[in-house]
Chain A
């Protein structure tokens, strides 16, 4: 049963702490997306990678957010330092090669910064 796996599912942290969210894309998928969902913003694209290379991170606050793909089976999204306004659900999605393929989403990480 191929699926995108995100960990942790829930995270509560104090303001100023570092937060790392992880995503395991579906095997064979070469494109990975990170999204943030807030009440007001809908699904906001933060960054995406193809073949582990970052293609677009224009949606990501550069001063505190960073996204990496250490290898083809792991994508990470870090926030340092975290702030209460970062509280949201963060989704990862992966897509197979090809221009017209659908992306598959993970269950998300619900982050609460207090």
Chain B
């Protein structure tokens, strides 16, 4: 009865490199959300996806960030040309349908050096 699985849990990247964060939703969940948490802050919504569709990306930075949830495999949050300000915890969450209770993964901590 696995929960939302995220990997890697911790990732260190040099400025200018790419970061890829993966998320496998809970079994039976077809809705995936990505959130970003800066130190001492709450979680900020980034993007909401269903299989093969981006439903709402209003919280995503316009450049360098992209997300996908392919038909097969995990959801991927991709950050290109990372900068120090991208250092944060990135949380994935899933729900069975929109509007239902959302469950979070344990997060991926990105550090950009």
Does A associate with B in a complex? Answer: no
Binding site for B on A (CB under 8 A): none
